[in-house]
Amino acid sequence: MIGSFSRRAWMRAALALAVVAAGLLPVPAVAQQAPGTTAGTTPGARATVARLNEAILSLMREAAGRESARARLQRFLPVMLDTFDLEAALRVAAAPYFDQSAEPEKRQALDAFARRSAAQYVDRFDSYDGQRLEIVGERPAPRGMLLVDTDLVRAGKAPVRLSYLLRPEGDRWRILDVLAKGTVSQLATQRSEFQNTLRGGGLAALTRDLNSNADRILGGA
């Protein structure tokens, strides 16, 4: 088991990328009070995570009902596009290549990134046995961001912690990163995963890889 000091160190390392991300992205113009914040709570951020949680549970139930992977992806993708700031995430994960590319190339890469990201959720949440997703708390994060903690509750097993890093955008909150087990940054993993492809062939090569990976996950379903 990771000790409390090690867990804090992992969290700091994961959040360090979020600080970098915030520096790479335009700083949103926000009021003194963050969007959806009242009396020390952030219902707007929790509503974003709650919507994603319900979509994940739907993915699991649909898989148990023998729905095809492609059908499940088509239903899940709009929720992912609404709850995640995928353009901001890709700008960080594919830096500096994303910002150096032409707009049509950026759009193709973003479409492929969204499709691959949604396909990964379809692949990971592929069975249902009464699991629940419960929002258990929230914490401030660097540069005005927020962490909302969710537990995946499973019968007879320890819950799995998913911590969502949200960034204010206008009058709403959107997810920039996910920390699996509270420590493993999805955005840091993607940045590491993408770099060799980007160095070898730029954003166009990454787009091809993301689409190919999504096709493999969906398995021709």
Number of structural domains (the chain) is: 1
CATH no. for residue 47? Answer: 3.10.450.710
Residue percentage of the chain with pLDDT more than 90: 71
The model's pLDDT over 75-119, given as tens digits with 9 standing for 90+, comes to 999 999 999 999 999 999 999 999 999 999 999 999 999 999 999
How many Å is the maximal CA-CA distance in the chain?
A: 51
On whether residue 3 sits in a domain, the answer given is: no
Any idea which of 7-21, 28-42, 123-137, 149-163 has the lowest mean pLDDT? 28-42
Contacts (Cβ under 8 Å, ≥6 apart) of 132: 57, 152, 153
On whether residue 2 sits in a domain, the answer given is: no
What confidence score (pLDDT) does residue 15 get? 53
Any idea which of 11-20, 57-66, 93-102, 120-129 has the lowest mean pLDDT? 11-20
Q: How far apart are CA 80 and CA 174, in angstroms?
A: 10
On whether residue 125 sits in a domain, the answer given is: yes
On whether residue 63 sits in a domain, the answer given is: yes
Question: Domain limits at 122?
Answer: 33-218
DSSP of the chain:
---HHHHHHHHHHHHHHHHHHHHHSPPP---SSPTT-BTTB-HHHHHHHHHHHHHHHHHHHHHHTT--HHHHHHHHHHHHHHHB-HHHHHHHHTTTHHHHS-HHHHHHHHHHHHHHHHHHHHHHS---SS-EEEEEEEEE-GGG-EEEEEEEE-TTS--EEEEEEEEEETTEEEEEEEEETTTEEHHHHHHHHHHHHHHHHHHHHHHHHHHHHHHHHHTT-
What confidence score (pLDDT) does residue 1 get? 35
On whether residue 138 sits in a domain, the answer given is: yes
Residue percentage of the chain with pLDDT more than 70: 81
What confidence score (pLDDT) does residue 38 get? 44
- Arithmetic mean of pLDDT over the chain: 86
pTM, full prediction: 0.85
What confidence score (pLDDT) does residue 33 get? 45
On whether residue 110 sits in a domain, the answer given is: yes
What confidence score (pLDDT) does residue 45 get? 96
Q: How far apart are CA 147 and CA 57, in angstroms?
A: 21
What's the mean pLDDT in 202-216?
Answer: 98
On whether residue 9 sits in a domain, the answer given is: no
Q: How far apart are CA 214 and CA 115, in angstroms?
A: 7
